[in-house]
Structure 1
């Protein structure tokens, strides 16, 4: 089953709504790691763009598993991190 594609603005709104809906997420070390280190966010964007170039969506199970492994995260945290980074730093990633 494929997931619906969101436009960049909707994706950013989704990421922000996740953060504002749960203040614990906003203060988490997970999101702070890219908020405080834009280079990490840019590196993650480049990785996600590379996946897109191979026809892989940033929120596919394959991409989520790869990010989880590389970042030392569980898949839920990897999906949250990817959505946050895409929404705020690389809206052209799909």
Structure 2
């Protein structure tokens, strides 16, 4: 699918950082059988949400991002997980994106 082929370098770095976190989490337990681009749509949506908060502004609040990630990655697929899991993943995403920006 490669949603970021025309992306700028910072967008691509953000995409890859978020993709790494989501792929490691594997919210629907599809790996290793699923293709490597399995969660690209969800990662794209998360990156679009993060773009609404450029680096000179505060990132989305942890709880807000956790709810968004939970909805996009799990609830849309009728595979709910715990709030603590969503918060942990959101925290990892925020740290990964901050490391890209640094």
**TM-based fold match above 0.5:** no
Query: What is the TM-score normalised by the length of structure 2?
Result: 0.40
Higher-helix-fraction structure:
1
Query: What is the TM-score normalised by the length of structure 1?
Result: 0.42
Higher gyration radius (CA): 2
